[in-house]
Amino acid sequence: MSFSTLIRKWFAQLVQRSFLLLWFGLLLMPALIHLTKIDVPDATLENRQLAAIPLPIKDLDSALNWTAQMDAYLKDHFGLRQTMIAWNNQIRYFGLGESASPQLTVGKEHMLFFNSHEAAYPNRMLNFLCGKDIRPEIINELATRVSGFLLKARQINPNTSIGFVPTKPVLYTEYLPDWMQAECQQKTHTLPVFLQTIAQFNATDAQQTALSASIYYPWTAMQKLKSSVQLYPKEDFHWHGRGAQVFAQDIAERQWQLPALRHFNFYRETVSSDMQRFMPGVALKPTIESPDYANAQITACLGPQCFPELASAAKLSDVSRYRLIPAGVNPKGNNRISGKKLLLISDSFGNGVAGYFSAYFDEVWHISINNSGQLSSQEMLDLQASFESYAPDKVLYLLHDYSLTCFSGKLHYCPVDLVKVLSQLHPKAK
């Protein structure tokens, strides 16, 4: 056997063995990484609860269930799992222009749209806003319940309004994928029909005037400005910066006829997207314009610590307070405000807009009701009493357009009965 033949044979064996070692190493790698905890699973990255390691076997039932529990644990915790999830998200987002999460849609120019609060029902939010499967009896129910609540609320406190926030799918429809645009164009959008139905109710002149003055949906005002103002960051579901300011300015100046008492300077900052949890591995960092409250002598306070007078503030969590603090006054003191006051009760969209109302009011309370289900009946009564003690000049209920479903008892899209919750909290006039 020639020397060159020996070399070729040796090289072929080396390649063969190296190939086997390589595959053996790749098969072992997830287990080794799992055991050495180099890649520790993080449940928050997947927006769900990961399977726990099964408990030791104690009886026959636990023995029968142990293998299935261990299988679920290993599927959620094997080494490199979350690294590969990140790679998958990066390839699909940057390479294919899509999202692995059924709750997100990647639109044109990488505009992100939030489809649904529930992964089991993808596109539910868009379908509702477009009017898909929304029958006339649903529209009538929504119009009846919203107008009925408002008329009763205004009898208790005439300075009460409700505002619905237009979200990205109805403001930036042209950025939706073509198939979504085509499907939505074939339907009659829900919010305009809902508002038209209320306008056609057989109510007295006084009641109709009260309804038209107290229901607010600024689609037209925001649509006019979207070419010059960033109403929503491309990577966010909620509004930030100028978009929320447009809403506050329009309702305060056009609806309530209030003058702006102060103006804000803005600065640019980069923040984390509120949809980051749906796309681990893809850095979603929108740049927004934020107001300089301190420069306008406004003390902005976010969180339960801002409301020592509210025992339930910690449970509510998403609360904020904005107060005019004149020069020479201790901003940390519990100073009584003598000027106009606003009570803003909202879903998650209130957080981004509350501060802009401080251009028109000397004090603004913002209370999100997203966690109101954690409050006892007594805590709800105490919260209502605190609102009455605060004695606001205006009460505004602010909800994004899809939250309109929470007024329906027929759709079963929303776990909260908003008529019941808002009626429990509604304060009497001062």
**pLDDT tens digits, one per residue of 288-317:** 999 999 999 999 999 999 999 999 999 999
* In a shared domain, residues 362 and 280: yes
Q: What is the mean pLDDT of residues 94-106?
A: 91
* In a shared domain, residues 337 and 399: yes
Q: Is residue 10 part of a domain?
A: no
Q: Is residue 88 part of a domain?
A: no
**pLDDT tens digits, one per residue of 391-425:** 999 999 999 999 999 999 999 898 889 999 999 99
Q: Which of 281, 223, 216 is nearest to 42 (CA)?
A: 281
* In a shared domain, residues 264 and 174: yes
User: Three-state DSSP class for 26?
Assistant: helix
**pLDDT tens digits, one per residue of 4-62:** 777 777 777 777 888 888 887 777 777 777 677 777 777 666 667 788 888 888 888 88
Longest dimension (CA), the chain: 109
* In a shared domain, residues 257 and 323: yes
The lowest-confidence range among 200-204, 230-234, 244-248 is: 200-204
The whole-number pLDDT of residue 212 equals: 77
Instruction: Render 128-161 in DSSP notation, one character per residue.
Output: HHHTTT--HHHHHHHHHHHHHHHHHHHHH-TTEE
The whole-number pLDDT of residue 203 equals: 66
* In a shared domain, residues 74 and 126: no
Q: Is residue 210 part of a domain?
A: yes
Q: Count the alpha carbons within 13 Å of 47 in the hemisphere toward its beta carbon.
A: 15
The whole-number pLDDT of residue 36 equals: 72
pLDDT at residue 383 greater than cutoff 80? yes
pLDDT band at 330 (very low <50, low <70, confident <90, very high): low
Average pLDDT, the chain: 88
* In a shared domain, residues 365 and 239: yes
pLDDT band at 329 (very low <50, low <70, confident <90, very high): low
Write out the residue range of the structural domain in which residue 29 sits.
21-79
- Final residue before a domain boundary, out of 79, 97, 125: 79
Q: Is residue 111 part of a domain?
A: no
User: Three-state DSSP class for 3?
Assistant: helix
* In a shared domain, residues 195 and 59: no
The whole-number pLDDT of residue 8 equals: 77
* In a shared domain, residues 323 and 179: yes
Q: Is residue 328 part of a domain?
A: yes
pLDDT band at 77 (very low <50, low <70, confident <90, very high): confident
Q: Is residue 109 part of a domain?
A: no
* In a shared domain, residues 220 and 161: yes
Residue 143 bridge partners (DSSP)? none
Domains: count for the chain? 2
* In a shared domain, residues 169 and 259: yes
* In a shared domain, residues 64 and 209: no
Question: What's the distance, CA 49 to chain centroid?
Answer: 20
Q: Is residue 309 part of a domain?
A: yes
157, 427 contact by CB (below 8 A)? yes
More confident residue, 136 or 39: 136
pLDDT band at 156 (very low <50, low <70, confident <90, very high): very high
Cβ density class 331-359: b for 16+ within 10 Å, e for less: eeeeeeeeebbbbbbbbbbbbbbbbbbbb
pLDDT at residue 117 greater than cutoff 90? no
Its pTM stands at 0.85
* In a shared domain, residues 46 and 178: no
Q: Is residue 14 part of a domain?
A: no
User: Which amino acid is residue 262, in one-letter code?
Assistant: R
